Chains A and B, each alone.
Chain A
């Protein structure tokens, strides 16, 4: 979990630098947005010159799953003072959620475990981003080395590793096919949001 955060965070720093983001914007994304897949998606949308509502809408849909994770942690963290709850929410990620859920299932109690790991992951993610920025600045001729394909390859890896059941594969293939068809038909701007919002209906309809 910690190693993955370092690897993906470093990759983000490298790819952000190579795709034309300046160091301040890159660090800002890791500090303010702090969501791996959404940050990579933003890089791709920025590079494509996407409009503001499209960027925010895509990030919102990618991160809507946090609603479920926060709702699931609420019985454990809900009794904290409001300020602590707001702080706990800021560092809620797939990884901190998974670690905290595992801890509570093993019989753990309290909020210290969640707080420790969630904050550690935040710190690691941001340190890794800085490392990536440094490395990324040192790579010349990115296109010749195929670095421009790194975002796409990262997305493919995220999707493949996220597959848990057959319907995930169907959802992923349907989303990719619909988005490609829309893009080829000239509707690039709405392709991702349309395909991304429609395909999960397949999962919702699953019995």
Chain B
């Protein structure tokens, strides 16, 4: 199942990368469709975040995840650094679990 998913996901991804190089077409992409496609990754990833914060596997540990999510947002906005945000979020979860 894991390997089927990896191969299937690889094929799906490659299709999105290669189709415009292979298939000829005329005209432009409608602006609304272009805006929809550009917003898709942010929407899907945000949709993954929501349940992971309010319903993490095995329930929240003393509310650590929502607090850590806010800390992560704050640090990434402030430092513009993915690594700093992840480190701060992970550390927040670890500290809450240690203390409570």
Contact = CB atoms under 8 A, between A and B. Distances in A.
B51 A191 contact: yes
Nearest to A183: B51
Contacts, number: 292
Interface residues of B, number: 70
A109 interface: no
A70 B19 contact: yes
A173 B46 contact: yes
Interface residues of A, number: 99
Contact of B93 (A41, A146, A184): A146
Secondary structure at chain B's binding surface: helix, strand, loop or mixed?
helix
A135 interface: no
Interface of B: 1-10, 12-14, 16-22, 29, 32-57, 64-65, 68-69, 72-73, 76-77, 80, 82-83, 85-86, 88-95, 97-98
B65 A149 contact: yes
B65 A33 contact: no
A168 B12 contact: no
